[in-house]
Structures are given as C-alpha cells and as structure tokens.
Chains A and B, each alone.
Chain A
Amino acid sequence: MAKDLDYAPSEPRTIKKSLGAKIFYVFIYIMLTIGSIVCVLPFIIIVSGSFTDNVTILKEGYSLLPRNFTLAAYQTIFKSPKDILQAYKMNTYYTVVGTFIGLTMISLTGYVISRKEFKYRNTVSFLIYFTSIFGGGMIPWYLMYANVLGLKGSTLAIWFPALMSPFLVILMRTFIVGAVPDAVTESAKIDGAGHFTIFFKIVLPILKPGLATVGLFLALGYWNDWYRSSMFSTNSSTWQLQFYLYDLLNATTAMKQMASNVSMKTADLPTESVKLAMAVVATGPVLLFYPFVRRFFVSGITVGAVKG
C-alpha cells in the first residue's frame, strides 16, 4: 500500500469505468448539453431581443447578444406600469389564494381517501379519478360557471375552477399512504387523538415534501394560467398576468388581420422588442423564485415515486 502513495490521493476512491460506461457518459453529457441549449437559447434570444432596437430586429433578425443596445422597450412598458402592476397583483392574489385553499382541500381529501377506516374510500377515489377521463367539455363547463353559478366577471371564477385536480388528489393520497405508516396514526389514535389532531399534528408535518410538490404544481398552474381570465373576466383589472401578455400579442395579430377587412386604427401596436420585454417582465420573477423551491420539487416527486 505504501508504495502506491505517490498516486494522487483521490485516485483510489473512484471506481474504474469500463469503456461502455465511458461511452454512456459521453453520450449522456452530449444529450444533456443539447437539451439545455435547446431550453436556454430561446430565452437568451428573448432577453437579448428585448434590449435590441426594434428596427434592427426587423432588418437583421434576432441575435444572441443585443445589437444596438437600448432600454426603449422597457421604458415603453414602465411608462404606464399601472396595467402590468395590476396584472402582477391579481396574479399573486390568485396564486396565493388558490394555492393555499387548494392545498388545504387536496390534502384533506387525500387524507380521507387514504384512511382504511373510511368504508367508501375506493368509490370516492374512483369518482375523483373518473372526472379526469370523462368531462363535459368546454361549453357545459363554461355554461356551468357563467350561467348556473353566475360567476362571470367575478375573481372567484378565476381561482375556483382550478382548486383541485384528480391528478393532484391522487398524488397526495399516494404521498400520505407512503409517508405515514399506519402504525403512527394508530398509536396516535390509541393515545386519544381524533382525526383533526392526527391530521394536523402527525400527518401534516411528515407530509412537507408532498405539500411542497403539490403546492408547486398548483402555484405554477395558477401563475401560468390565462384561459380562465380569457373566458370569465369582464374587466381588465381582474386579468391574470399571462392573459394580459397573451392578449397583447393576440391583439396585435388580430388587428393586423382585421385591418384587411375593416377600416380601423393599427398604429399603436406593440413592437417586436416590446413584446419580448413583456415576456421577460412576466417570467422574470418565476425564474428567480424557482431555484429556491426546486429542491423540494425534486425530492418531493422522488419520495412519491419510491415509496408510493
């Protein structure tokens, strides 16, 4: 052993890789590199485009680094930031309220259908699961909220429909079954705890990764949604952020098309660089926020996968 000491100390720790494994690693790294380039490149182009002069974009196309650097696009957006700030505010509101209430309802449902003493748990699970395959379709869905519940124009219509999804309920139930052994709840029961005590004091603390995962699914869903604003909003002050942006783009295309048939004004449409700057402003905060919860996200999903 002593003779080998002139080797670098780290050497003995690694296991020698076979040729096959090396090729495998090279292959994997190449694939991952390509994958990440595919993901990152469009975003870089968006960011650099947002700093590029609009005429340059039209003349020379997009580039990786901004040419003719200018802040004009951002100045245009923040000249009257009222709308975009309002959209941010509403989006935060929908995300916080929706995620909180949704998480509560999903974890409570998950807990109930995971309990063995609940006789009809399989029926209830099936009913929940059933809705994920068979739905009424768009029109009945719309009529239900607009006419039957009369929610058109209310902010409730925007966060209420997405509170629970069958997928997340079943995911949560799997978490609970996997992470909370029967023995634990049983012992709590013997000590005299009721369902609420068991749920809040025993199950919830163990369930943190599950809550983080489901919460992140919900939060991302809420943050990125635009469809319900499109369907139910009657006032632009209740718009979701993504809808605000999406509509801006749609308005540009629609009005250009319309202008071939109808005399109408097409002067004040946003330019290319303003559109890109909009995208940056909208996605920026999520990008900053994502790395901090990613930890939970990854561990949460694996916990479910291994133990479920």
Chain B
Amino acid sequence: MKKKVLSVLMSLAMTATMLAGCGSTGAQSAAEQLDEQGVTEIAVETQAAEEAPAETADAAELDLSEQVDLVFYVMGDAPQDEELVEAALNEKLLEKCNATVDMQFSTWTEFQQKYANEITSQGADLIYIANWLNYGLLASSGAFEELDDMLDTVAPDLKAMVGESALNMCKVGGKIYAVPNTWPEYVSNGVKYREDLRAKYDLPVPNNLENLEAYLLGIKENEPDQGLLTVTTEESSGFKTAFDAAWVLNFKYPWVSANGLDYGLAANYDTPTDVYDYWFSDDFVDDMKMLKRWADEGFWSKSALSDTNNSDSYKNGLCVAEVAGQNPNKQVTAIADFANAGEGWESAYVAYGETTGVIYPGHATQNGTAIVRGCKNPERALLVLQAMLCDDEINSIVQYGIEGTHYTVEDGIYKNLQEEAGETATFPYEGFNTWNLRNGETKLPQKTDVALQEMFDKYAEMGAKTKFPNVNIYDGFSENYEAYSAERSAVNNVMRQYLAPIEAGLVDDVDAAVEEFRTLVKDAGLDKCREEYTKQWIAYCEEYDYK
C-alpha cells in the first residue's frame, strides 16, 4: 500500500516538476507578464503615491550633505570597461551631487520580464524607459515617480533644456513621469536599394509602387540569377501587417506599418480621429492582387512564409532591396558594410514619408529616463539625471567613456581608439546603452553620423510642413487590451494564418481568400477589438490635442 502511494506521489512529483519547468521557461509571453504586473501594481503603489508629493514640498532646498548611492537600470549588455568608466563617472558625480551611480544591465535575455521585476522589487532608482517597454501602461499603473514639481524645484536646467513640448509627450494622465533625451531622431521606414545596379541598368529610383516594381523587374531581366527581395514574416508580427512585402504599401498610404492603427484600421495623419476601415474596403482587395502579381513575378521566394533570418542577405548581396523594418540608421550601417565588402556595391534609401509627405521624428517616449516609485531619494536621483544629461563633462563620460583611453575627437568627429587599432572596443560608442541620455546639442557624431544627419535634416525640413510639424502622433499611444485580450489573440492567429499567405501572394484566388479572411477575422472578435481600440485611440488624440 505504502509503495503504491509513494509511486503515485513520485509520478505526480515528476509531472509537477515538468510542468514547473515549462512555466519558468516562459510559455507566457514577456509582454503579458509585464501587463499582469502592471495590473497588480496599482493596488500596492497607490499608497506610496499619496505620500510622495508631501516629501517634495519639504525639500525645496536640496540637502547634499549625505552621500547617496543610486542604481541606474539600463537595457542590454554591459561594456567590458564598465567599472573603469563608472569610477570616473562617480568621481565627478560625488563632486557635483554627492552621489554615486551603479549602472545595472538587463542583458537581452528575457529583458521584458526582468524590467518588470526591477520595477516591482524597486531595485533601481533611475530607469530607462521607452514606448516599446510599455512606458505608458507602467506609468499609469504607478510604476514611476511624478516629476512635475520636482523638475521645477530640483532640476530647472533640465526642464529648460528638454523643453515643454517634449515633456508634454511624456505625460500620462496629465503628469510627467519621464525625461526624454534631446536628440530628435528620424526612424522613418523606407526602402533600401542597390544604387549601383539601378544606375547600371538605368532603372527608376524606387520611390513609389510603380517604380519599385519597374526596378525589380529590370534587375530580374538583366540578372536572372540575382535574388530580389528576401521578405519574411519577421518584421510583421503585430496587428498591422502579416507579411513584410505588405510594407511597400506605405508608398500608397501613409498609415500601413509604423504609422498605422491596428486591426486593419486606418487614419490619415492630418485627421487622426477620423478612423476608417481598410480590410473590408475594395482598396484592400486591389492591393492584395498587386502583391499576388509581384509574388507571381518571383520577387520573393515561394517559401517566404516559413523562411527566417533575412537580416544579412542584403549585406551579402543576396537581395537588391529591403522594404520592411528599415530606417536611416540601417542605411548608414549598410553603407559601411558595403564599403567593407569592397565589391563596388552602393546602397541608397528612400523613406516612405518622402513620397507620402508624412514624416516625423521618433516619439519623446522612445528613449527616456524615469525614477522608479519607491526610490528613497527621488530629488537626488533627478539631480543626478540632470547632471548626466546636461553637464557636458559628465555626459561625455557616460556616453563615450574616458577620453584618451576609449575615444578621441578629431575634427568634431568621435573616434574609438580601440576600433581604430583593430581591437574589440572595451567601451564602445554609447557603451552603457544610455540612448536616453543623448544630448542633441553636444552629441558627438560618429563618422557615419554625417550621412545620417544629412538624411535627418532633409526629413526635418519635410516634417516641418506637415499638419503636426515634426510631431510623432502615433507612438505615444499605448493600447490597454485587458478587456479583450482573448479576442485580440484570436485575431492575431487569424492574421498569421490567413492574412500572411494573402499578403505574400501565395493564394490562388485572391478574392476568395480575402473573403475567407474577412469572415474568420470577424468570427475571431475583430469588431470588439476595433471598437475598444478606436475608443482608446480617439481618447488619446483628444488628450494630446491631435485633431
């Protein structure tokens, strides 16, 4: 009898261990875990919220007599010379703020989960924030300290430098929770293509759908063995597109990928509150037929839906254009890669916005710094943040390391000494991954940044002509899908399974396939998602006055 009980226990224990094993390796997506925590935090943190302002009022004159040790949590991996640079940094910080900073790194493994842990456990004082780390959701659930009053009392210089409008973009529920960097950056998506081949066969610059098609066809005719596009589903996992080739539609509409709304909804940049439908429109069918034609022309592989790892193919000359997930910075990287390859290849770039006229820099919440609620010395933390961002001397230590050891400045251009010597850099450019501490006025350009800045200047000029001059109205929005998460994932499944083959042109009959997709996505609960999403979106537009 006893043995039986024991064996039952044993087998149960084994099953349990296995289950536990599965659980911890992350059957749940990181984003979901983050949301869960965001939710649990509301209850715990509201109390602290009430206490915080009282403290601020008392500390008008900041007392620096006591040394404060702060933890600054940033993303990514630590540079090799972390300790050396930290020592140099702390020497200056002790002198100016009587504080030290210990940089801690998330690494890139399960960083969403660890980021949430760090906030829950209040292990850090200063923390990197970004919209892709759910800044809006976290701030509204009380993860960060309010900065409105403190910015006036403790860090007026910082406030002046960052400016009212950028700080406004970081507001959540009317309060400022984060300080953005001050380097306007254009991540405008576009098409990267081979300028040398275009010139060789006298093809048009692919700056709209017809020209792109002509460019690809021209290369196909002249070099039948050359691969054309290596598009996969890699850049299209969200709720806008399901296959990378569909990004080319950005030439036609300004709202397909990065600028778009989810769930097949659309809104023009000039009239963001005027939300209309795309998936059920005739335009959608026409566009899908065009993609089918492209697929039949052999622009991409028949196995594109299951292919992965397309990232190095352009670099190695395996394709002649990239259409999804591109930005000016990647173009600059490609120029450098081609120079290294030494095959006479040339890369050029057309941003979709150049054709549609909708172009704007990254949102303020793309790179920012917040103070974690529960931080024992929020004023001092803010003072340190001010020093790290505004004080040129401290800022350059954080961003570039030690001059003479790690880098040198030649003709106003940053030069990494170790990379020049062909060694691995022990503290590369922005080695602490502090993209949130970029100071637009003093940021040292790298050699490649010259080309980058040229592109930025061009876009800035165009962006100034839009209705919301150089304001990114999209990326400040964060959807709260708690109420319809089941429908949302059902819609996602339908998109992956039915929309992807349509956009990849791998269906025989486009009309029938679109009809099937429409029925299924409706059954999955599209209407509920759309309704809630639109409501939240319009509320967001009202709040920030994007009308």
Contact = CB atoms under 8 A, between A and B. Distances in A.
Given A132-B20, A262-B366, A266-B333, A167 B123 contact: no
A15 interface: no
A227 B24 contact: yes
A146 interface: yes
Interface in A117-148: 125, 129, 132-133, 135, 138-139, 142-143, 146-147
Contacts of A268: 424
A246 B109 contact: yes
Given A59-B318, A230-B109, A251-B108, A260 B120 contact: no
A263 B186 CA distance: 9
Interface in B311-327: 311-313, 316, 318, 325-327
Contacts, number: 142
A170 B107 contact: no
A32 B337 CA distance: 47
B472 to A, nearest CB: 11
Interface residues of B, number: 64
Contacts of B121: 142-143, 146-147
A167 B329 contact: no
B463 to A, nearest CB: 16
Interface in A173-217: 174
Given A166-B13, A250-B107, A250-B109, A264 B430 contact: yes
Contact of B10 (A59, A171, A247): A171
Interface in A281-301: none
Nearest to A133: B16
Q: How large is the interface on A (under 10, 10 to 19, 20 to 34, 35 or more residues)?
A: 35 or more
A51 interface: no
A263 B235 contact: no
B453 to A, nearest CB: 11
Contacts of B77: 236, 247, 251
A226 B109 contact: yes
A34 interface: no
A80 interface: yes
Given A265-B429, A267-B336, A174 B10 contact: yes
Nearest to B367: A262
Nearest to A251: B108
Given A251-B77, A256-B311, A263-B187, A142 B108 contact: no
A138 B327 CA distance: 37
14 contacts: A167-B13, A167-B17, A170-B9, A226-B109, A247-B77, A251-B76, A251-B107, A259-B333, A260-B187, A260-B189, A261-B362, A262-B435, A265-B333, A272-B312
Given A80-B424, A230-B110, 16 more contacts: A55-B316, A59-B318, A138-B24, A143-B120, A143-B121, A146-B117, A166-B13, A174-B10, A236-B78, A253-B108, A259-B330, A259-B333, A260-B325, A261-B366, A267-B333, A308-B10
Interface of B: 3, 6-7, 9-10, 12-14, 16-17, 20, 23-25, 33, 37, 40, 76-78, 104-105, 107-111, 113-114, 117, 120-121, 123, 130, 132, 185, 187, 189, 235, 309, 311-313, 316, 318, 325-330, 333, 336-337, 362, 366-367, 424, 428-430, 433, 435, 452
